[in-house]
Amino acid sequence: MVVQVVTRRSTGPDDLADAALAVAGRRGLSGMTVRGVADEAGVSIGAVQHHFPTTDALYRFVFQRLAERIRRRIDRDPVARDAGAPVDDRLSAALRHLLPTTVARRREAAVMVEFAARATHSAELAEVQSLILGGIRSELVEILGAHGLPEPDVRAALLLATVDGLALDAVSAPSLYPGATLDACLSRQIAAALTP
Amino acid sequence: MVVQVVTRRSTGPDDLADAALAVAGRRGLSGMTVRGVADEAGVSIGAVQHHFPTTDALYRFVFQRLAERIRRRIDRDPVARDAGAPVDDRLSAALRHLLPTTVARRREAAVMVEFAARATHSAELAEVQSLILGGIRSELVEILGAHGLPEPDVRAALLLATVDGLALDAVSAPSLYPGATLDACLSRQIAAALTP
């Protein structure tokens, strides 16, 4: 008789979120199940349910984890972090991390769009979305305001919405928004945001 | 003994789509079920399944129906249809129909965002999305090109993405994008699109 020993790793919410993000990237948020996340992390379904008792809790954690990951990437970007580089180059380098110009970023953008869609019918998720978008917008307001531009609030709101809209349209209608179009649109929009 | 006679109306796909759109408006696309649509239309579940054998088929029809409804509203808009009005006023009047500035339009925008989210993982729905967005973009290219503006393609792609992004952010993070912000952003973006 063969006794099969299945080793269950001890796994915290951060590891589970990474596993969930990997599943969501491949199958979409809507294709992410508790069983799929448990399999990916090598833990029991109960372990996942312990940390994420509801689907929305799982969605929220995945989205926050994704936002952190993109944040770290922007912070490490050599142009975005270079205080001596022209502001349009810095903005472009930072915001390109939000656009689906590679397969990996397309997956990220799809998760962000699916999260936003779910947030339209969940006050809890809408609050998380407001927090993340509000954080990015505040940084944009600061950058634009530091350049003495009038109405930095409207400029920042518009710039953020444009990036989100480019991501939305590019993941849902890819043939209409190839990489070159996304780049051209972003450059044009940043130039407009910086025009007094 | 009481014999209950339930009258089932004869209902075509258009009536079903209207019923489905009403359900989706109230509960979101994700909250729309075959049973909910059947109840709304006063028909059997089988009648709904006959016309819409898959969830994607139902989603597609609801989205196309919504796009037609908005299209008709724009065509009837007194400013948008006035060939003698300034082009910025006409564009503003037309594109405002896509922004969630009222409760009814917020519901419509939420359905559009949910459809786009689902299209990220469905080639069939992505094709429908491309067709609808492509149609709007072509009209924008025509309007901008008729004014002798350079790069009308990029301008149109950017203007459409901005409107979609404003709708996305406003339905998923309403506190960040109140009506006044949406209006200010749209005006600014139209002015930028019309600047040579």
**Other beta carbons less than 10 A from residue B149's beta carbon:** 16
Residue B174: what pLDDT?
94
**B130 to chain A: closest CA residue:** A173
The verdict on B130 touching A (C-beta cutoff 8 Å) is: yes
Indicate which of B172, B186, B194 best probes the interface with A, i.e. most A CBs within 10 Å of its own CB.
Answer: B172
Provide the chain A residues 30-69 that lie in CB contact (below 8 A) with chain B: 30-31
3-state secondary structure of B1: coil
Quick: pLDDT tens for A142-158: 999 999 999 999 999 99
The SS3 of residue B125 is helix
- Confidence (pLDDT) at B11: 74
Tell me which of B169, B171, B189 to substitute to probe the interface with A (most A C-beta atoms closer than 10 Å). Answer: B169
Query: How do residues B55-78 score in pLDDT, each as one tens digit?
Result: 888 899 899 999 999 999 999 999
pLDDT of the residue at A14:
81
What's the confidence (pLDDT) of residue A5?
A: 47
Q: Name the nearest CA neighbour of B24 among B115, B86, B102, B99.
A: B115
Search chain B and give the residue with CA nearest A152.
B185
Task: Give contacts of A171 with chain B, Cβ < 8 Å.
Answer: 116, 119-120
CA distance A45 to chain B (A): 24
* Residues of chain A predicted below pLDDT 50: 5-8
Backbone angles phi, psi at B103, to 5 degrees: -60, -45
CB B152 within 8 A of CB B125: no
User: Averaged over B1-7, what is the pLDDT?
Assistant: 50
Which residues in chain B have Cβ-Cβ distances shorter than 8 Å to A176? Answer: 130, 133-134, 137, 157
With 0.80 as the threshold, say if the pTM is over it: yes
Rounded to the nearest angstrom, the minimum Cα separation between B160 and chain A is 8
The ipTM of this complex is 0.91
Do residues B103 and B158 make contact, with C-beta atoms less than 8 angstroms apart?
no
A194 touching B, CB under 8 A? no
Give tens-digit pLDDT for B141-171.
Answer: 999 999 999 999 999 999 999 999 999 999 9
Beta-carbon-side half-sphere exposure of residue A86 (alpha carbons within 13 Å):
6
How many CB atoms neighbour CB B153 within 10 A? 15
d(Cα B34, Cα A27) in Å, to the nearest integer? Answer: 24
